[in-house]
Homo-oligomer: A and B are copies of this chain.
Amino acid sequence: MAKKVLKFGGTSVGSIDRILHASKIISQEHKKGNKIIAVVSAMAGKTNELIEFSKTISQNFNKRELDVLLSSGEQVTSALLAGALCKVGIKAKSWLNWQIPILTEGEYNNSRIVNMHVEKIDKFLNLNGVAVIPGYQGISSEGDITTIGRGGSDATAVAIAKIFNADTCEIYTDVDGVYSTDPNKIPVAKKIDKITYEEMLELSSLGAKVMQSSAVQTAMMYSIPLQVRSTFTNRPGTKIFNNENIDYRKVVTGVAYSKDDAKITLQGVDDKPGIAAEIFEPFSKNNINVDMVIQNVSSDGKTTDLTFTIKREDLQRTLEIIKSNNKIKSKEISYKNNVSKISIVGAGMVTTPGVTYKMFKALADEKINILAISTSEIKISVIIEEMNTIKAIKKLHTIFDLD
């Protein structure tokens, strides 16, 4: 007997049939004697429809009222799912954000869960009840409804798993689990059975579609075992754990990529403390997200070359900011707007020598030029020309035994 949080995403509750199907999954888990808290998203498409409504009224719709509006989507699903469970004789009850309550901090549209009351629901679970909770929302200390950002139902599920001390948190979604690379692009992509939190985060360009990154981070912080699985099959999905739970036979777990990147290089920047901060400060003020940053000491030892990547759509703005920044004295600014980032990810990498060489050799064999390199303990990323993206992923997927 375990205490389980089962989270159902938008497509998993996207129609009445699917809500009935989700109620069957819950019912089976409940019959096994498990204590179940179900967390639900809005029905697929609902949140977008409500956002569309708000935008028709104003592109700058009042943020407080937007949260009142959007939170209704998960409320509807919660009531329907609880009703579906009642129909098959399960004692089920929806608990809305203010009924629990789920307390949040921060701004409207982008708050975070800080606490929730457990006594009433724990008592209900002990009496064999199933609690159904709308994801993505809470209430502020002022008693206003607040939402926690798109994909926030994952964060709600993980926060509930943590605060209710659940044994596991299962994310039911429309994919089988996490794949070794994008299965739509690379047909030999394979479902990963077990993965660490860190790998999952590094694979975020794939994983983002599967699960919200900040929810994975929270699960990592509190060692909450996650399982991502399909609502529509009985297959076990992908388990997300700490390192110690994973027996590595493969050094590399997956190959991730991000498209639509641009690369900027500043050559001959003064090599003095604080220069990077001076360069990047105006970017963050302008909401420009910098991804990879690589800095090399230049040959003269007095200046440095700085390369970084950004989203391609931000390229023009970024170049203008650099040009108007008096603190940057650079001999040359160069950029490339058709690049992509390819990463190999694997927690076993740190203990296996030669992975870096193997990767670079493989790309060289394919005559793919590497424009920049960045490594971490469980990831090696390279910037290449965008046209080589698929070729690079395929090659790396094969040589690291992922096919």
Give A residues with C-beta under 8 Å from B: 16, 19-20, 50, 53-54, 56-58, 60-62, 64-66, 68-69, 71-72, 75-76, 78-80, 82-84, 86-87, 92-94, 96, 98-99, 143, 145
Contact = CB atoms under 8 A, between A and B. Distances in A.
A64 B84 contact: no
A75 B68 contact: yes
A75 B83 CA distance: 20
Contacts of A72: 72, 75-76, 79
Given A16-B57, A87-B58, A143-B99, A69 B64 contact: no
A355 to B, nearest CB: 52
A16 B84 CA distance: 31
A145 B72 CA distance: 13
9 contacts: A50-B76, A62-B83, A65-B80, A65-B86, A66-B83, A69-B83, A96-B145, A98-B99, A99-B143
A56 B56 CA distance: 31
B99 A83 contact: no
Contacts of A98: 98-99
A57 B54 CA distance: 30
Contacts of A76: 50, 53, 69, 72
A93 B94 CA distance: 26
A57 to B, nearest CB: 5
Given A68-B75, A75-B75, A143-B99, A53 B16 contact: yes
Task: Pick the 4 closest A-B CB pairs, nearest first.
Answer: A69-B79, A68-B79, A62-B86, A65-B83
